[in-house]
Structure 1
């Protein structure tokens, strides 16, 4: 059962995952699957688990190739943002710095992508830390004294919850088939905005 809506969240204590939360990364994965391998039947709705090797029924070498291409510098810059993410983040940057923790190995490409989709946010207001693996996000978040984190990977949310950090599970096809374990599930960025930037807040 999904937990009830939270009390208003202090944006200074909030951080975000990027791929699957801010960046619609799997849209590029699907496009490349269509173009490179003719897998025109494939859609994001087929991604029913986080581990693509378990749910897509494709050869490992094909998935490896598609992941490699999707995350390379060229294709990273082609990733569309998740609906409403740039608008909400630009508003949020008016009241708090934007902090992102990604499981990518290298922060530079996705940082440049963020600069491109958030052109009105001063670059010094954007911090990106590459953890290299989902399992290492907890230590980074604890060191930053983050209390709330938005992620699309349910195992990461479980780990954070056990450590006392409140996770917000961003709704995606790959996390809908597992119990939410009392997490607060975020349907979209407009809903998240209502919790972080309640109406009437002064952004001046």
Structure 2
């Protein structure tokens, strides 16, 4: 369509279902405001688009039916949707016990502490066991947690982790295994002492005069 060609020339795209205008520039990849004046300002300030070209875009959007929605009102996509190359891919985290999602490891840790600490203590697990890494996308760069959706990227919705995350994960496994081995050692030692005590008692009974 001619409209799509105009938008594509300025690296813009409209999601037909959500009815949002997406800036597809590599450094952006998020939905713009439905306010046409703000769209024009974005094109001028961020991409140095001329006034005549900006009017071409805003006139096209003004005539569009149905009208664009605000990114805060647009429906989010379903979890498990394929990642959209027009949107920023977030290497984020999802809470296993509610709908909280975020791109920040500090934020998800604070969320677990403030919302699920009692449950974590009851389960007897570390905070990292209460959430998992995931690929996320959203219409805006820093939305509320419920406005993210989980996407499939490179064939998976659960992202692999490395660096400090991998180190912490392996450290957690090592500490749990060390604790398990220590417990087994204590149990075996207790069993050995009990067996030795029983043996000594029997020897004492046999040695005692009748």
Length-normalised TM-score, structure 1: 0.21
Higher relative contact order (CA 8 A, sep 6+): 1
Length-normalised TM-score, structure 2: 0.21
- Higher Cα Rg, which structure: 2
